[in-house]
Amino acid sequence: MTTRYTKDHEWIRLDGDVATIGITEHAQNALGDIVYVELPEIGRQVEQGGEAAVVESVKAASDVYAPASGEVVAVNDTLDGAPATINEDAEGKGWFFRLKLSSPGQLDTLMSEEQYKAFLKTLE
């Protein structure tokens, strides 16, 4: 399972033709304590780079963009009652939603883990 990253600090992990999406450790650190998450509707079509979810922290509200186009096939309902899960495990249990990809080739336009780490260094 390969994980890819966006410049907006989302991650996407493909398993078969379904991809899991969330925000990175860096993003959750920047946001601080997460208090609310607005997840997309199941069945919704999202476009690569389009707004897909919203995350709110004590500091700010931030859009979560879809790293690839597809149909939302699952959402992480546990975040409704426990949004802090994102702070605890942003790249694991804190996932946001799953997509059935319409164009898996779009993942090739995203950063690898090494490229993302190098990108983060440019932000310091």
pLDDT in tens, 22-81: 999 999 999 999 999 999 999 999 999 999 999 999 999 999 999 999 999 999 999 999
Q: Is 121 inside any structural domain? A: no
3-state secondary structure (DSSP) of residue 76? coil
Residue 71 has a pLDDT of: 98
Residue 8 lies in a domain: yes
Domain assignment present for residue 43? The answer is yes
Better pLDDT: 122 or 17:
122
Mean per-residue pLDDT over the chain, rounded? 96
- Residue 47: give the domain boundaries: 3-106
Domain count, the chain: 1
Q: What is the mean pLDDT of residues 10-19?
A: 94
Which CATH number does the domain housing residue 64 bear? Answer: 2.40.50.100
80-117 pLDDT, tens digit per residue, is: 999 999 999 999 999 999 999 999 999 999 999 999 99
**CA-to-CA distance for 90 and 79, rounded, in angstroms?**
11
Beta strands, E only, the chain? 3-5, 10-15, 18-23, 34-38, 45-46, 51-57, 61-65, 70-75, 97-101
Residue 39 lies in a domain: yes
Query: 99 in a domain, yes or no?
Result: yes
**Per-residue confidence at 124, pLDDT binned at 50, 70, 90?**
confident
Q: How far apart are CA 72 and CA 48, in angstroms?
A: 12
